[in-house]
Amino acid sequence: MTGKAVRETMTPKQRWLAAIGMEPVDRLPFWPKLNEAYPRMRAAPFCDMTVDAVHDWIGSDKHTWIAGCTRDVRKATSIRTAQANGTRRKVYQTPHGRMELVCRYDGPSDSWHPVTFPVQDVEDVRLMTEVYADVTVELDAEGLARARARSDEIGQDAVTANGVGESPLMQLVEWLAGIETAHYLLADHRRDVEGLFAAIDGVLKRRTELLCKYSPADVLYMVENTSTTLISPTQYRRYCMPQVGAYAELAATAGRNMVLHMCGHLKALLGDLSQIRARAFEAFTSPTLGNTTLLDGRRGCPDKCLIGGTNAMLWTRSADEIIAQIEHDLDELPHHRGIVVTSAGVMPPMCEPETIRQVCRWVKDYPARTNGRH
């Protein structure tokens, strides 16, 4: 059980950044991941509130995305997106052919899901390589002005973030070809697929360099969605670890905080992840949805901040049950530096705001230990 209430001496931004830096905090940061669909699923007064207002009511240590400050400039190819009647079509056009990504909107999760992938065969791999090889990444002055203005507006109220993108293999699996086709193509046409990976990698490296130099965001994200349910550890070591490691190295050299969003099964990858110079792993998901506890993460990656520690199924239970599991998982850690308690993935809409606030208050009172123990 917790002791007396902890006296707060840090702002939310200071608390987040200290945790990401593996430094002592006045108390553990707490951030439930709420998307725009969450208030719509609630009764009054929450259905009439913004997500930001719900966070304020809960007492969250907020985490906010701000405008990006880069743009992709093309000469011979184009990407055009059209949306109507719950369907979004993204058309990739090159001088040698056309591809299309079709996504459908899901209201309850407020998200878009691919139903038709643009890469179906090796010819599409070559076309998509043209699309990425044609890109020059430039600084977007208007986006940078918006990002700076928003960052100034937020001040100390939240930690701010920009996204770099997603590593080549994970892009192929999630958005370009789908899981099965991606693996078949990689097996049957490895050189062509690796050529696509190289083109994507060039874009991501340049974007990382520009964001490191100009972005006012506190943290830079690779939105990886890594999971050994989608790719094998061997594939991760060959096609993700070197690439992501290079982006993280650029960020570390520039003194920037790079965070890897990895919401899947990670236990078999912890030894590899420990070698990447990212500062934190976000959406670190516990069993049974994930397969890695906070203790697993701390043992395998002792110098990485772990952002998560729970899972969606846990948040469908009562506040007392949620608190008991979080307490168990925190108590078994050697120390609490580099821990941010979150819902890991997006908060299940069936979890009531009152439940989240009760857990939030408990986390804030939890006596975080700065020093290790044996």
* In-domain check, residue 373: no
pLDDT on residue 280: 98
For residues 95 and 228, state if they share a domain: no
**281-340 pLDDT, tens digit each:** 999 999 999 999 999 999 999 999 999 999 999 999 999 999 999 999 999 999 999 999
For residues 275 and 310, state if they share a domain: yes
* In-domain check, residue 156: yes
Residue 267 has pLDDT above 60, yes or no: yes
Which of 85, 113, 134 delimits the end of a domain? 134
For residues 161 and 309, state if they share a domain: yes
Which of 134, 158, 174 delimits the end of a domain? 134
In the chain, pLDDT over 70 holds for what percent of residues? 98
CB 136 within 8 A of CB 76: no
For residues 191 and 289, state if they share a domain: yes
* In-domain check, residue 36: yes
* In-domain check, residue 4: no
In the chain, the amino acid numbered 249 is E
For residues 338 and 280, state if they share a domain: yes
For residues 83 and 221, state if they share a domain: no
* In-domain check, residue 3: no
For residues 214 and 291, state if they share a domain: yes
Which of 86, 113, 134 delimits the end of a domain? 134
Residue 2 has pLDDT above 80, yes or no: no
For residues 125 and 266, state if they share a domain: no
For residues 116 and 211, state if they share a domain: no
Q: What pLDDT band is residue 47 in, cutting at 50, 70 and 90?
A: very high
* In-domain check, residue 5: no
Rg from Cα positions in the chain: 21
**Cα 131 to Cα 11: distance, rounded to the nearest angstrom:** 43
Residue 368 has pLDDT above 90, yes or no: yes
Residue 146 has pLDDT above 90, yes or no: yes
For residues 24 and 125, state if they share a domain: no
**110-131 pLDDT, tens digit each:** 899 999 999 999 999 999 999 9
Q: Which of 33, 259, 64 is nearest to 153 (CA)?
A: 64
pLDDT on residue 7: 84
pLDDT on residue 110: 85
Number of folded domains that form the chain: 2
Residue 165 has pLDDT above 70, yes or no: yes
**Cα 196 to Cα 216: distance, rounded to the nearest angstrom:** 31
**66-110 pLDDT, tens digit each:** 999 999 999 999 999 999 999 999 999 999 999 999 999 998 888
CATH number of the domain encompassing residue 253: 3.20.20.210
* In-domain check, residue 160: yes
On average, the pLDDT of the chain sits at: 96
* In-domain check, residue 274: yes
pLDDT on residue 374: 38
Domain range enclosing 98: 75-134
**Cα 23 to Cα 14: distance, rounded to the nearest angstrom:** 10
Q: Which residue matches tokens 């992709």? A: 72
**212-253 pLDDT, tens digit each:** 999 999 999 999 999 999 999 999 999 999 999 999 999 999
Q: What is the pTM of this model?
A: 0.96
For residues 173 and 33, state if they share a domain: yes
For residues 93 and 18, state if they share a domain: no
**Cα 62 to Cα 47: distance, rounded to the nearest angstrom:** 19
Q: Taking the mean position of all CA atoms in its chain, how far away is CA 184?
A: 27
**Cα 10 to Cα 18: distance, rounded to the nearest angstrom:** 9
